[in-house]
Structure 1
Amino acid sequence: MKVPKFPTNEEERLIAVKSYSIIDTLPESDYDNLTELAATICDVPIALITILDKQRNFFKSHYGISFNESPRELSFCGHAILEDDIFIVNDAREDMRFVDNPLLEEQNVVFYAGVPLLDPSGFKLGTICIFDHIPRELSESQIKALKTLGKQVVNLLELRKKNTNLNLIKGELEERNTQLKSFASLVSHDLKSPLSNIIALTDLLKEENKNNLSDDSLQYLDYIEDSTTVLKNYIDGILMYYSADELLTSIKEDIKLSEIADDIKHILISDNEQLLFNDALIKNINKAALSQILINLVDNALKYNNKKDRTVEIKYESLLTHHKFSVIDNGIGIPLNQQEQIFEIFKTIKNDFTKSNTGIGLSTVKNLVKKLNGQISVVSEIGKGSAFNFTIE
């Protein structure tokens, strides 16, 4: 018996094998289907998909035998990966490379054929191979089929490798997102209170010294207050953006539109503002997410409105598979060339009377709508107002 030599690129080949994370994995039906197909096509009792590790031959799939590995020094596949084409042993009893090989007696191995599994970088990872207990030969069609199955094995290994890498990246992104949410919460807690104090103290300073300060000094205090308010709103917006996904876990329920409208009135509507709606029963909906969406849209509708009497209307329609809402205002309108950009985070509309907008609210809305399997769009006319239309499941 001749122990198979190592390929000249064995060190690099082993690195390639390791990159697939396939050694010692559990059986998978996709691979088992291919070994069963190989055994059927070639009319043999045994078919294997093997991966050659440093000292052993691991069987990713084993059809016709119960064990899943063998010593590499005894393996036929160790010889097969030294070949560029299919490796066939018609009768191992008459081949000097396999005389006295324990597999001949213990497993009654006589015939072998193996196709190297060649990865995209040219490394031979292992084989798809077949065994029989009697001498035989393969037809051209059987050889062709075995080679084709070998390519399919490599395709499966590549797909598995890509999925593994994607899962690792997904895990890293989820961890980073968790850390970012934690950071946003920490920043919100640690900065909001000092910023609120600055705003309150600035107001107090202006009130107590309004007759002692020059117009320029009062203007500077206004600048401080405006800048502090903008920063506070950014912090609130970022925290809202990264915590919005938590709303998606809320249980769906039946609610009346008036319930949400009353909450919005309490939070946002002042004396010179109107919130109009026709009450309706909304069945099986995520109330928490819908409330967040509508609060953001109504808040924007009021913020971008220079009319003396500001009006916002909420309309609802029940569709076959979705809920449809519209939030319509009589505000300043949105230029056509900005109507797509407004849903991007930190994108804002420049105007003369809104100083504290962050460009986070509409991005949060779009994020929620998308994750509720819906869509959002806007129709707007300068000077007349805007209508935000969205659907959610």
Structure 2
Amino acid sequence: MKADLHRAEEDRLGALRRYGILDSLREADFDEIVKVASAICGTPISVINLIDHGRQWFKAEVGLGVRETPLDSSICAHAILQPGLFIVPDTTLDSRFADNPLVTGDPHLRFYAGALLETPDGFPLGTVCVLDYKPRELDDTQKSFLRLMANQVMKLLELRRISEAEHAARVEAEDLVKEKETLMREGDHRLMNSLQLVQSILALQSRRATNEETKNQLDMASNRVLAIATVHKQLHLTGSHEEIEIDTFMCRLCASLKHTAPAQITAINVDAENASVRSDVASGLGLLVAELATNSFKYAYNPGQTGSVDVSFRTTASGWILKVSDQGQGLPAGFDVDQSKGFGMQVVKAFVRRLDAAMTVSSRPGCTAFEIVRGSN
């Protein structure tokens, strides 16, 4: 007799498929359960049986030698309709199974006992069952053991489901991170190109400017854009979205600034420690270097005089120190950085505050130095 379908068959099948167990490879944890069940119950056959649509599939088995059979001849399909432990002492005496081809023909099954595999929300998935070729009974210890094995199988299925879900979530998260990184790289690349275009336009306008003050303002704006563009170029080249190697960044920025410097600036010397800083910090440092270096370009050396600009960066136990200096004529007598109203110096002070740093200025003929310190020196 073919078993009736479960009263909520579609939901039951949905619950079964959520475990992702069907048609999976053999696993030692499940194989050991059927081996032990067969030994404890003294039966030649033991199976972890899952009732699928149109078939019964065996996650593990001993004594059968197959992984699935048609549902029409399934004894377990009857078992999942019963609560708890389902026992048929002699199949030939039970009208539901007397004409079953597995009873009347090979392998001539005469005894069946199955403990229900049931989900936490009450859906039966299959059984842990033992079978024999002769009529028999199980003692109380064997019955308890079979129930225990069914509970153990459900724990394994739950752990397997959780592990698969965690793996899927991890893969999805990794894919999202990769997608985000790709978008950010593309964004950095496009922004870098846009900034370089803006910088080129500003540089072109500066070369065409006839008014010296206009030219100076365009140069300063161009160098500010250059500093930001260099940050994004470094982000794009390294593939990082959070940290930048400050020594490489400073060297690249100063090499670009040198191209905008007047002929009397012979070099921009960089002495930067090999350290990583956050991209937002690097952006602030770059703008400070661009602003202070541009200031040296304009004011450090008298006409006919040549010299260099020096940039150094080193880390400390609690922060870092940035220093920009030149060997020019020095700042004007009475110059007070705190009282300065010049736009360039206002920009410098704004970025020093943004970086939560402090700036000191020392100046005399032959040496002017701006030192920005984050943390205790």
Structure 1 length normalisation: TM-score?
Answer: 0.63
Supply the distance in 2 between the matched residues of 1:268 and 1:195 (Cα, whole angstroms): 14
Q: 1:109 Cα deviation (Å)?
A: 1.1
2:314 corresponds to which letter in structure 1?
V
Larger radius of gyration: 2
Counterpart position of 1:65:
64
Counterpart position of 2:141:
141
- Which whole-Å deviations, capped at 9, do the CAs of 1:153-204 have from their partners, x for residues lacking one? 1121122222223333333334334433433343344442232121132134
CA 1:17–1:242: 2 relative to 1, 3 Å = farther
CA 1:330–1:184: 2 relative to 1, 3 Å = closer
CA 1:261–1:241: 2 relative to 1, 3 Å = closer
2:95 partner SS: coil
Structure 2 length normalisation: TM-score?
Answer: 0.65
Supply the distance in 2 between the matched residues of 1:97 and 1:151 (Cα, whole angstroms): 27
Counterpart position of 1:211:
211
Counterpart position of 2:285:
303
Counterpart position of 2:350:
352
CA 1:22–1:52: 2 relative to 1, 3 Å = same
Supply the distance in 2 between the matched residues of 1:208 and 1:174 (Cα, whole angstroms): 51
2:231 corresponds to which letter in structure 1?
N
Supply the distance in 1 between the matched residues of 2:147 and 2:162 (Cα, whole angstroms): 23
- Which whole-Å deviations, capped at 9, do the CAs of 1:190-249 have from their partners, x for residues lacking one? 4422321211321342454362777xx98699668646754663574377455899xxxx
Supply the distance in 2 between the matched residues of 1:98 and 1:231 (Cα, whole angstroms): 80
Q: 1:129 Cα deviation (Å)?
A: 0.5
Counterpart position of 2:376:
384
Identity of aligned residues (%): 28
Counterpart position of 2:98:
99
Q: 1:312 Cα deviation (Å)?
A: 2.2
2:350 partner SS: coil
Supply the distance in 2 between the matched residues of 1:116 and 1:85 (Cα, whole angstroms): 6
- Within a 5 Å distance, the mapping from 1:77-156 to structure 2 comes to 77-104=76-103, 105-156=105-156
Supply the distance in 1 between the matched residues of 2:102 and 2:79 (Cα, whole angstroms): 16
1:303 corresponds to which letter in structure 2?
L
Supply the distance in 1 between the matched residues of 2:183 and 2:94 (Cα, whole angstroms): 68
Q: 1:99 Cα deviation (Å)?
A: 0.7
Supply the distance in 2 between the matched residues of 1:93 and 1:100 (Cα, whole angstroms): 8
CA 1:14–1:180: 2 relative to 1, 3 Å = same
RMSD: 4.2
1:109 partner SS: coil
2:128 corresponds to which letter in structure 1?
I
1:78 corresponds to which letter in structure 2?
A
Supply the distance in 1 between the matched residues of 2:53 and 2:277 (Cα, whole angstroms): 62
Select between 219-228 and 114-123 the one with higher mean Cα deviation.
219-228
CA 1:196–1:173: 2 relative to 1, 3 Å = same
CA 1:174–1:263: 2 relative to 1, 3 Å = closer
Supply the distance in 2 between the matched residues of 1:243 and 1:263 (Cα, whole angstroms): 16
Counterpart position of 1:30:
29
- Within a 5 Å distance, the mapping from 1:355-374 to structure 2 comes to none
Counterpart position of 1:183:
183
Supply the distance in 2 between the matched residues of 1:51 and 1:230 (Cα, whole angstroms): 62
Counterpart position of 1:312:
314
1:49 partner SS: strand
Contact 2:20 2:161 in 1 (8 A): yes
Contact 2:118 2:125 in 1 (8 A): yes
Unmatched segments (≥5 aa) in structure 1: 246-259, 277-293, 315-325, 333-349, 358-380, 386-393
CA 1:6–1:192: 2 relative to 1, 3 Å = same
2:350 corresponds to which letter in structure 1?
D
Supply the distance in 1 between the matched residues of 2:349 and 2:122 (Cα, whole angstroms): 61
CA 1:382–1:32: 2 relative to 1, 3 Å = same
Supply the distance in 2 between the matched residues of 1:202 and 1:171 (Cα, whole angstroms): 46
- Which whole-Å deviations, capped at 9, do the CAs of 1:81-119 have from their partners, x for residues lacking one? 011110011111211211121112311211111011101
CA 1:136–1:172: 2 relative to 1, 3 Å = same
2:82 corresponds to which letter in structure 1?
E
